[in-house]
């Protein structure tokens, strides 16, 4: 009888040790998974959530944005504004100082299943850089307001987009771009663009 108790005790100790090793392995795997997460992957999970996130910009400003599209190095969506005016904004990742999230958004942004589902459904936009999106605005002849990382803004129409810069025909807001309405042309390095707002 005592031998049976001894073997039962040894068996339970072995099972307990195996469970502890398995739990340690799971904890280490989760640490490694989180270590591989990029900011882009975390934002990707929030795009499909439909809730606004507060972007903390390098200029010290904040922008409440409901994310709609995520590119290789930018995020875009609708800005939360007061009144009837709706503004769409494009924010390069380089202009982010951080993102202020709710507790639920933090949890949703690190859930593996949400990350995998959004990565599969992103398609082409995930590979498009900031230059591509700005070229689209150029083709559409959309009036934009460009905010700069050092502060300040310029309003106008994007005339062309190079590899690392854009040309903005600066004119007053609410006026269509015509040669007579252009005050001057501003060549803007993409590295100083904090936000491009349309609407």
What pLDDT digit, counting tens, does each position of 145-191 carry?
999 999 999 999 999 999 999 999 999 998 999 999 999 999 999 99
The residue-averaged pLDDT of 122-150 equals 90
Residue 179 is predicted with a pLDDT of: 93
Grade residue 2 by pLDDT with cuts at 50, 70 and 90. low
The residue-averaged pLDDT of 27-37 equals 77
Q: State the residue for tokens 């380089």.
A: 94
Q: In this structure, are residues 173 and 165 in contact, taking their beta carbons and an 8 Å threshold? A: no
- In the chain the first and final C-alpha atoms are separated, in Å, by 84
Contacts of 74 (CB under 8 A, 6+ apart): 90, 91, 92, 93, 129, 130, 133
DSSP codes of every residue in the chain: -HHHHHHHHHHHHHHHHHHHHHHHHHHHHHHHHHHH--HHHHHHHHHTT---EEEEETTS-EEEEEEEEE-SSEEEEEEP-SSS--EEEEEEGGGEEEEE--HHHHHHHH-HHHHHHHHHH-GGGGG--HHHHHHHHHHHT-EEEEEETTS-EEEEEEEEE-SSEEEEEE--TTS---GGG--EEEEEEGGGEEEEEE-
Question: In this structure, what are the phi and psi dihedrals at residue 36, rounded to the nearest 5 degrees?
Answer: -90, -10
Residue 115 is predicted with a pLDDT of: 45
Whole-model pTM: value is 0.79
Residue 183 is predicted with a pLDDT of: 95
Grade residue 3 by pLDDT with cuts at 50, 70 and 90. low
Residue 41 is predicted with a pLDDT of: 87
More confident residue, 27 or 7: 27
Instruction: Give CA–CA dist 78/197, Å, rounded.
Output: 9
Instruction: Give CA–CA dist 147/153, Å, rounded.
Output: 4
What pLDDT digit, counting tens, does each position of 35-59 carry?
888 888 888 888 877 789 999 999 9
Residue 122 is predicted with a pLDDT of: 61
What pLDDT digit, counting tens, does each position of 87-125 carry?
899 999 999 999 999 998 888 888 875 444 444 446 777
Q: In this structure, are residues 11 and 41 in contact, taking their beta carbons and an 8 Å threshold? A: no
CB-based burial of residue 122 (10 Å sphere; 0-12 exposed, 13-18 middle, 19+ buried)? middle
More confident residue, 122 or 63: 63
């Amino acid at each position: 009888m005592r031998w049976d108790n001894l073997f039962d005790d040894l068996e339970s100790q072995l099972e307990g040790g195996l469970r502890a090793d398995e739990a340690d392995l799971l904890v280490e795997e989760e640490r490694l998974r989180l270590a591989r997460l990029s900011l882009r992957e975390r934002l990707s999970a929030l795009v499909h959530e439909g809730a606004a996130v507060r972007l903390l910009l390098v200029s010290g400003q904040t922008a409440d944005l409901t994310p709609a599209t995520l590119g290789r190095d930018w995020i875009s969506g609708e800005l939360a504004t007061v009144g009837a005016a709706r503004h769409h904004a494009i924010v390069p990742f380089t202009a982010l100082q951080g993102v202020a999230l709710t507790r639920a958004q933090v949890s949703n942004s690190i859930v593996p299943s949400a990350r995998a589902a959004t990565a599969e459904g992103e398609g082409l936009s995930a590979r498009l850089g900031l230059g591509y999106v700005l070229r689209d605005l150029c083709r559409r002849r959309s009036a934009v307001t460009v905010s700069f990382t050092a502060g300040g803004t310029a309003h106008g129409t994007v005339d062309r987009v190079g590899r690392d810069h854009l040309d903005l025909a600066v004119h007053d807001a609410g006026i269509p771009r015509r040669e007579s309405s252009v005050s001057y042309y501003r060549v803007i390095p993409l590295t100083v663009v904090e936000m491009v707002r349309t609407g």
